[in-house]
Amino acid sequence: MKRPTVRAAAPAAPSVTGAPPLDPSRPRATSRAAAPFVLTGLIGVLIALVTPHGDRGDHAWLVPVCYAVALVYLGISLRRDRRTWVDPVGPWLSFLAIMVARDVSGGSASPLGALVAIPSLWLALTGTRRDVWVSSGLTLVVFVAPILVIGPPLYSPTDWLHGLMWTLVTVFIAPEIHRVVGRVHRESARAREAHAEVAGVMRAAHLSSIIASDTHGVITSFSRGAELLLGHRCEHIVGAAVRREALHDPAEIFAAATELGVRPHEVFAELARRDAPPRTWAQLRADGTWAYVRLALTELRDEQGRVTGCLGIAIDSTASVEAERAVARSEATLRAVLQHLPDTTVLMLDEDLTVVAVGGEGAVTQGFTGAEGHPLAELVKPDSLDALTPLVRGAFDGVEGTAELRGGRTDAAHEVTVTPLLPGEDGRRALVIARDVSRERAHEREVLRAKERAERLLSDAPYGVALLTPDGVVLDVNEALCTMVGRPAGTLVGTPFAAVACPKDTTLREHLRAAREAPGTRVEADWSLATPQGREVHTLLSSRLVVGDEDTDDLVLVNVVDVSERRRYEQRLAHLADHDELTGLANRRRFDEELTRHLERCRRHGPDGALLMIDLDNFKEVNDTLGHAAGDQLIVSTAQLLRSRVRSTDVVARLGGDEFAVLLVDADRVAAEAVAHSIVDRVREHAATLEGSRRRVTASVGVVTVRAAHDHDVDILALADMTMYDAKDAGRDGVVVLDEDARRQPRTGARMAWKRRIEDALEDGAFELHLQPILDLRSGEIHSAEVLLRLADADELVPPGRFLDVAEQSGLMPALDTWVVERALGLLASLRRLDPLFRLEVNLSGHSIGDDRVERALVEGLRRHDVEPSALILEITETAAVADVERAREFADRMTALGCRFALDDFGAGFGSFYYLKHLVFDYVKIDGEFVANCHRSGIDRTILRSIVGIARDLGKQTVAEFVAEPAILEIVGAEGVDLAQGYDVGRPTTYDDFVARYLPGAATAA
């Protein structure tokens, strides 16, 4: 904060009233200074007024009147700028007021006599020495006059002693007070004048920053120069308790504190104490940038020599500091460049061939570090010195020279350049720059060797290699390419490479254009060339444009690989992808494509053609009795027979196993039926010529015209498949043709109707799940059941036997089993809430084993319903497992890893029961009802039952007896060691609610 300027007062002219001028050695009275005196006097007046007056009270009114008059004069005095006769009148009148106050408040007994100190002290502080002496006389009058005028008893004769004491006080003490106050006032005035002078100096010092701080480092003065230099306002610094070190770089403060051995906030005080020479500091400007100053510090002391702070005078040296730093950076950069020139040694030599300066990274490698002052002869070998000396002497004469020498610690090859320097005070100088070129020479040798290797690789490569111009003219070829094209190198070099291509083949021209457009990138193309002998060679071209430099032209490197054999192999693979490997007929993939294309043509031009589905009867017996080799021979001969019975435009395919299909692309119902009958007859005639079981092989053919499939609005393959099964159901070795009027074919129509009913039931949720209890024969309790499917049709529950065959044949079983699995897992979750030990058996069709939809429904359903996987038992019938043993095994392994259990259903119904029991993973064996239903009557059935139980027990598997319809049967299966029983005697299939009510009543009640 800027301090007010205190100016020295000029001598005052005499007033018009003749009053003396204002005494500059005396402080001017102020209202604030008078307030305590006036207040004390007022208290005295109040005491005088409230004290009992006795017979003296008739003139008590004089006390406030006298005091008021005194205050009026005091007020007039305070309002004037100069001293006048009025100044002492007020205090003098107050003596009269005090004398009257004593009189009315008890005379000698009044305590108000002490009030005489108020005007005496006021005049000692503000009046002249004459005023002080007058006040001494008035003090004596206050005490003595009443004794003389009024006398006893109100005033004691000894009261003059009190007056004498107060008079002595005013005579001796008041003048001393007057003297001390005058001296203090004069010194204060001198201090203000000195401060004003310092402030003026600081305001005028614009080029220097002057900052003063107290002993605590708090800034007390901030000059105008400091404001201009640092951008801070004085009022923002002074009085805001800002410390001097706040304007400096903390890092510099810390470094200086470490140097001086003091704390950071003591740095500037210590420098001032030591009278340290000026040093450069960084100071923070208001805009956040740094100013560099040259700062001198000195201590500030008072009159007693005590330190009161320190004063810092700083000169802006930012420009010089930045210039010095720029020079230092330039020198450091130059030094760094010289010191880090890679593989380069820099020597400066004088005329005596003595090293003056050393630089470059190579100097360290070659052992020249610290070589300043040493002669060149100590650093290089004699032979190198002999070669280098003439170059240096020439440089002294202003001629630059170069040479390649070996030397230094590594004895590496160096390319040496000697350059003359401008002569200076120290004479002529030469600069020797030696660059290590050993790696470059090694690289050149490696390039030469690489070129030789490349030439050898070119000549010895097992595939063709050609070097061409960008336009395709042959520059060079290797022997392998000459062999490939059947021409010697002499006839190829200098000719267009396209000359060896097959006629009208433009592949090479496009290939070279692609290589030119993408320099350095490999481009590939298939290309066929022709040999002089007329043989066509299929090749793969792999080319890259090699961009040359200013000394070499661009060229194209072409690798030519003979892929004729690979192409033949790919063509073979392509053929196998669309054809059956055994018969050479189209496979299912190719047949589906051909059928799709034909149906698309029919949609555009009208329905035409027919589809024949052919299945060999009794073929499995051939495989089982004569082996698969005999079966394969029969399949091949049948394929040849079929191909011979149709036109070349028709499509014959083997769909799998012993199933074939023929697409007659241009045939009506009559023609298709005739072809079908001829196929049946021909297969029968052909089988009659064979031996053994092959003689019984016949063919069942289903015929569906495209028009019939269009009228029925059903997939033609599904129709043909069902029609073929109609032929089998009709006794085999025959033909069934689907009429365009489906009502004239009841069996096929029924299958189609059932297929629609099944699809509608799946969509509408018309299926129901019933539960049949399974009895644990050891505990006599029911903790499991089998899920059975029913179709709700009007008021009838249709059993699965009436629609499962159609579902199997029409490919609906995976969707049906998915529906069953999803609902069954929900039932299982509900049942386990009633009985935590409950298990549920679910049947899977052979078509569903390994199906992604069914497996996904199992996994997601177990997770969604939070069902323990071991509570789910999947039943796979023996016949379903027989269809694909490996697929059943893989499916069982995945589900077993998940935690599910498996049961082999209808065990004993087929020929391979024990084979599948050995090779498949099952936890339960469900004995076919054929051996259970009559075991109480037939000894053979009971013996078979006993053997199955024994085998299962030995294998660690549990057994389930099906078709337990009577108590006698239940008793026998229990006696033979069967673990579980299922049948009408245990319980009939029923709904979920009825099952819970009948077989889990306790659990339902608890729930």
pLDDT tens string 796-833: 788 887 777 778 777 888 889 999 999 999 999 999 99
What is the structure's pLDDT at 912?
53
Return the top range by mean pLDDT from 36-50, 326-340, 389-403, 857-871.
857-871
Mean pLDDT rounded to a whole number for the chain: 81
> Percent of the chain at pLDDT above 70?
87
Shortest CA distance to 345 belongs to which of 320, 365, 329, 370? 365
Average pLDDT over residues 128-155: 79
User: How many whole angstroms from its chain centre is CA 502?
Assistant: 57
With beta carbons less than 8 A apart as the criterion, state whether 675 and 710 touch.
Answer: no
**Between residues 507 and 788, which one has the greater pLDDT?**
788
- Return the minimum-mean-pLDDT range out of 602-611, 927-936, 996-1005: 996-1005
**Between residues 503 and 648, which one has the greater pLDDT?**
648
Average pLDDT over residues 296-313: 86
Q: Is the pLDDT of residue 74 over 80?
A: no
What is the structure's pLDDT at 579?
84
- Cα separation, 218 vs 243, in Å, equals 4
What is the structure's pLDDT at 555?
85
Domains 202-324 and 341-440 share a fold: yes
Residue 900: pLDDT band (50, 70, 90) is very high
Q: How buried is 326 (Cβ within 10 angstroms: 0-12 exposed, 13-18 middle, 19+ buried)?
A: exposed
Residue 972: pLDDT band (50, 70, 90) is very high
Domain boundaries, the chain: 31-185, 202-324, 341-440, 461-569, 578-748, 758-1001
Q: Is the pLDDT of residue 882 over 60?
A: no
Average pLDDT over residues 401-414: 76
With beta carbons less than 8 A apart as the criterion, state whether 374 and 354 touch.
Answer: yes
With beta carbons less than 8 A apart as the criterion, state whether 408 and 380 touch.
Answer: yes
Return the beta strands (E) in 425-485 as ranges: 427-436, 464-468, 474-477
Q: What is the pLDDT of residues 753-791, one digit of tens each?
A: 778 888 888 888 889 999 999 999 999 999 999 999 998
The helix/strand/coil state of 865 is helix
Shortest CA distance to 947 belongs to which of 963, 933, 931, 936? 931
The DSSP string of 355-423 is EEEEESHHHHHTT-TT-TTSBGGGTS-HHHHHHHHHHHHHHHTT--EEEEEEETTTTEEEEEEEEEEEE
Return the top range by mean pLDDT from 148-162, 474-488, 790-804.
474-488
- Cα separation, 960 vs 926, in Å, equals 5
**Between residues 786 and 619, which one has the greater pLDDT?**
786
- Cα separation, 821 vs 853, in Å, equals 10
What is the structure's pLDDT at 784?
95
The DSSP string of 763-832 is HHT-EEEEEEEEEETTTTEEEEEEEEEEEEETTEEE-GGGTHHHHHHTT-HHHHHHHHHHHHHHHHHHHH
- Cα separation, 860 vs 851, in Å, equals 14
The helix/strand/coil state of 559 is strand
Return the top range by mean pLDDT from 317-321, 372-376, 724-728, 939-943.
939-943
CATH architecture of 758-1001: Alpha-Beta Barrel (3.20)
Indicate if the alpha-carbon torsion angle 561, 564, 567, 569 is positive or negative. Answer: negative
Residue 473, token pair as written in the block: 């003219």
**Between residues 668 and 85, which one has the greater pLDDT?**
668
What is the structure's pLDDT at 995?
94
Q: What is the pLDDT of residues 534-571, one digit of tens each?
A: 788 888 888 888 887 766 778 888 888 887 777 777 66
Residue 446, token pair as written in the block: 């490696």
Place of tokens 């403060």: 253
Q: Is the pLDDT of residue 694 over 80?
A: no
With beta carbons less than 8 A apart as the criterion, state whether 21 and 82 touch.
Answer: yes
Average pLDDT over residues 309-324: 84
Q: Is the pLDDT of residue 746 over 50?
A: no
**Between residues 691 and 988, which one has the greater pLDDT?**
988
What is the SS3 string spanning 61-118? Answer: CHHHHHHHHHHHHHHHHHHCCCCCCCCCHHHHHHHHHHHHHHHHCCHHHCHHHHHHHH
What is the structure's pLDDT at 999?
92
- The superfamily (CATH) of domain 578-748 is Reverse transcriptase/Diguanylate cyclase domain (3.30.70.270)
Q: Is the pLDDT of residue 610 over 70?
A: yes
- Return the minimum-mean-pLDDT range out of 335-344, 706-715, 823-832, 956-965: 335-344
Average pLDDT over residues 701-725: 84
DSSP assigned state of 714: S
What is the structure's pLDDT at 55?
56
- Cα separation, 542 vs 524, in Å, equals 4
Q: Is the pLDDT of residue 15 over 50?
A: no
- Give the count of alpha carbons within 13 A of 916, CB side only: 31
What is the structure's pLDDT at 978?
95
Q: What is the pLDDT of residues 715-730, one digit of tens each?
A: 888 888 888 888 887 8
Shortest CA distance to 844 belongs to which of 853, 854, 859, 836? 854
What is the structure's pLDDT at 544?
87
- The superfamily (CATH) of domain 202-324 is PAS domain (3.30.450.20)
Q: Is the pLDDT of residue 190 over 80?
A: no
What is the structure's pLDDT at 8?
34
What is the structure's pLDDT at 680?
92
With beta carbons less than 8 A apart as the criterion, state whether 255 and 290 touch.
Answer: no
CATH architecture of 461-569: 2-Layer Sandwich (3.30)
Return the top range by mean pLDDT from 198-207, 261-270, 825-834, 885-894.
825-834
The CATH number given to 341-440 is 3.30.450.20
- Cα separation, 765 vs 815, in Å, equals 12
Q: Is 960 left (phi over 0), alpha (psi -120 to 50) or beta?
A: beta
**Between residues 920 and 243, which one has the greater pLDDT?**
243
Residue 932, token pair as written in the block: 């259970």
Using alpha carbons, list the distances in angstroms from residue 681 to 61, 613, 726.
165, 15, 18
Q: Is the pLDDT of residue 441 over 90?
A: no
Q: Is the pLDDT of residue 16 over 60?
A: no
- Return the minimum-mean-pLDDT range out of 665-669, 714-718, 860-864: 714-718
